[in-house]
Structure 1
Amino acid sequence: MKESQVSWTIGTRHGTLSIGAHRLYLSASGPTRQSTNGILQPAVIIEAGLCSGEREWIAVERLIAEKARVYAYDRAGYGRSDPSPDPLTAENRIMELTHLLENANVEPPYVLVGHSYGGVLVREFLRQHGKEKVAGMVIVDSSRVRTPLPSDWPSLVGDSEYPAIVGLDKNHVLSTEEYEAVKEDGHRNLPTAQLEESFMVASTEKVNDAIPEGPRALGDNRLSVIFGNESIDFQKLYDFGIAHGFGTKQAQDNLARRLEDMEKVDEQGQRAHLQMSSQSRFVYARGDARTHNLQYVAPEVIRDEVFWVLGLSDD
């Protein structure tokens, strides 16, 4: 079957799709979208964070697909997608996503889910397309302006690994094969992530200038902001480094100073998003879900907020 004849709007599909000079990996699942009074049910579009791709979101996709059509993809250079010939700015990333959705015939409106740097990217999507195409958003543990962590914090990990220390190895809900694929992607994605990170500050500033605090860029369209509280992860990393004598005294002190106000600063930075909509709410992750990576530890938290934005829950 020719690529142009393949339908991404029904059934479950996984594969790469051409957007011109290169191909991007796309995953589609969930019921066929229905129209009510001529209005098409929104498609849910997932935008992963820095160095992350579709595999991290498999558990979330499964849960959302029970009630809504959901799409996730690998940005160019990540996972199963080809590298991009263009600079990895937020503007270019969203232009590529737009081409991908157009070529897959996934029409608006959309509910956008953005995690970490993906929160910047979904706001860039809103900047380019407006609330007419963006029916709502779920922003997951993404501050309006991210306060940098000390550059020497990785030395506190020593001979262990971040996922083991913060509890992801123990608390994830993926299958063994799925979780191993996530970790393999993380290592494979590093070169592209370093390139993308070099554009993050400028891209974030551009989005923030276009969507300042105050004006309701989403209008009455619903917005949920989920606070995962990344300080919990870094407190575990700090405690691990101290307990095992990893990192220099300076590295330990640098992270200790960041932790003094990390939770407060991050919460304020995420609450700033709420003003984009007249219908917004702020959700605290609880228990094991208190992690920056709740997408594969507590996917039900994200599902519940997606369903609230879609109007599919009783909340």
Structure 2
Amino acid sequence: MTFSSNWEQCEAREGIIERPNGGGLFVFTRGAPRQPKHPVVIFEAGLGETGACWAAVQRLLDPRIRSYAYDRAGYGHSPESKTPRSAVNVATELLDTLQAANISPPYILVGHSYGGILIREFLAAAGAGAIAGMVFVDANQENTHPQLRIPFHIIRALCGERDYLDVIGLLHENAFTQEELSRIRIDEGLPTSARTFEKEGALLLESSAALREKRQLDTCPLEMRPVTVIRGDSRRDLERLVMAAQESGSGRQENLQEMNEFLTNRLDIFDRDLQMQQLRLSGNSRFVQATNSGHAVMATEPELITSEILAIWEASL
């Protein structure tokens, strides 16, 4: 089903929004029809994720709040794009899509992982006046990938033929319904999603550099609009991966050693500070530490996210 206008009052819950310059994005919406001047929530997923990862958060969000999650071009139900998968291009596509559907500001932006960089580029494209607030969920910023140098190749090697989400326990420790989890699993298995993951990943450093040039962490662009930084515990996930590899005997010693060095010499030292630097985006910011989550806080503690969104939404009325 395709829609191009009046999306905010449309009864349909999901469909493709076509952009004027071609292409479209698949959007999921929840919540009551929007009231005049009320902010709407825009969810941005991380690298390799589709909009379905926000299913539990959208379901548990206060029903008065209109919210939109979507599949970036090439993920899930959204067709692939011919443009490079840089953060700037992704943010531009999202803004064009919202404008095509007459989904107007103000927006509350919520980004997980790499989605933190994407919503920062959306901030740059739309302007601070369009933003009612932002929520960063264990999110990356412009210095994350250059400084942490996450060893994705080691993670893949330690997984071997096993499912990463299963290894770290996320298939059993989550707040999703069975239907929601099935949708996530189907989306991630699509060949287009795998190709898009590689294309986005290849431009991580380039996208980080482009965001760094905007100097948002130095200029407090949101002034007093609220920002919340929710931090998970990525170490927990990776420790589970290491333990599983050791128990199965499938982890090569050099891979185990490199992962332990990453945890001790980079993640432990830099991760918390990198995430807290995002508090500089506003003079009205707060930090929340998730206590029962790894990286995917939206899967294991969605109520932390919904409560922060609700606070921002009510403050903006």
TM-score (norm 2): 0.91
Residue of structure 2 in register with 1:75 after alignment: 72
Change (3 A) 1:95 1:7: same
Mean Cα displacement is larger for which, 132-141 or 257-266? 257-266
Residue of structure 1 in register with 2:9 after alignment: 9
Change (3 A) 1:173 1:2: closer
2:181 equivalent among 159, 179, 182: 179
Residue of structure 2 in register with 1:139 after alignment: 136
User: What are the superposed Cα offsets for residues 274-308 of structure 1, whole Å, 9 maximum, x if unpaired?
Assistant: 01101100100012xx2111212221111111112
RMSD, aligned α-carbons: 1.9
Residue of structure 2 in register with 1:301 after alignment: 304
**What is the one-letter code of the residue matched to 2:137?**
V
Instruction: Answer yes or no: is the 8 Å Cα contact 1:29–1:65 preserved in 2.
Output: no
Distance between the aligned counterparts of 2:59 and 2:12, measured in 1? 11
Distance between the aligned counterparts of 1:69 and 1:2, measured in 2? 19
Instruction: Answer yes or no: is the 8 Å Cα contact 2:2–2:16 preserved in 1.
Output: no
Distance between the aligned counterparts of 1:249 and 1:241, measured in 2? 10
1:27 equivalent in alignment to 2:28: yes
Distance between the aligned counterparts of 1:177 and 1:212, measured in 2? 39
Instruction: Answer yes or no: is the 8 Å Cα contact 2:117–2:208 preserved in 1.
Output: yes
Residue of structure 2 in register with 1:169 after alignment: 171
Distance between the aligned counterparts of 1:205 and 1:44, measured in 2? 27
TM-score (norm 1): 0.92
User: What are the superposed Cα offsets for residues 107-154 of structure 1, whole Å, 9 maximum, x if unpaired?
Assistant: 001010011110000000111222100111001111322212222232
Could you list the runs of 5+ residues in structure 1 that have no partner in the other structure?
Answer: none
1:282 equivalent among 287, 292, 302: 287
Residue of structure 1 in register with 2:109 after alignment: 112
The structural deviation recorded for 1:86 is 1.0
Mean Cα displacement is larger for which, 26-35 or 243-252? 26-35
Change (3 A) 1:180 1:13: closer
Residue of structure 2 in register with 1:311 after alignment: 314
Residue of structure 2 in register with 1:219 after alignment: 223
Distance between the aligned counterparts of 1:4 and 1:140, measured in 2? 30
Identity of aligned residues (%): 32
**SS where residue 128 of structure 2 aligns?**
coil
**What is the one-letter code of the residue matched to 1:167?**
G
**What is the one-letter code of the residue matched to 2:303?**
E
Change (3 A) 1:2 1:232: closer
Distance between the aligned counterparts of 1:123 and 1:131, measured in 2? 10
Instruction: Answer yes or no: is the 8 Å Cα contact 1:30–1:69 preserved in 2.
Output: yes
The structural deviation recorded for 1:156 is 1.9
The structural deviation recorded for 1:195 is 0.6
1:101 equivalent among 90, 98, 102: 98
**What is the one-letter code of the residue matched to 1:105?**
N
Residue of structure 2 in register with 1:160 after alignment: 162
Distance between the aligned counterparts of 1:17 and 1:265, measured in 2? 39
**SS where residue 278 of structure 1 aligns?**
coil
Could you list the runs of 5+ residues in structure 2 that have no partner in the other structure?
Answer: none
1:63 equivalent among 37, 60, 64: 60
Distance between the aligned counterparts of 1:309 and 1:23, measured in 2? 29
Mean Cα displacement is larger for which, 134-143 or 57-66? 57-66
1:201 equivalent in alignment to 2:202: no
**SS where residue 177 of structure 1 aligns?**
helix
Instruction: Answer yes or no: is the 8 Å Cα contact 2:228–2:286 preserved in 1.
Output: yes
Change (3 A) 1:65 1:72: farther
Mean Cα displacement is larger for which, 302-311 or 73-82? 302-311
Distance between the aligned counterparts of 2:149 and 2:2, measured in 1? 47
Mean Cα displacement is larger for which, 250-259 or 238-247? 238-247
Change (3 A) 1:32 1:181: closer
Instruction: Answer yes or no: is the 8 Å Cα contact 2:140–2:275 preserved in 1.
Output: yes
Instruction: Answer yes or no: is the 8 Å Cα contact 1:17–1:100 preserved in 2.
Output: yes
1:243 equivalent in alignment to 2:244: no
Instruction: Answer yes or no: is the 8 Å Cα contact 1:127–1:211 preserved in 2.
Output: no
**What is the one-letter code of the residue matched to 2:229?**
V
Distance between the aligned counterparts of 1:6 and 1:216, measured in 2? 34
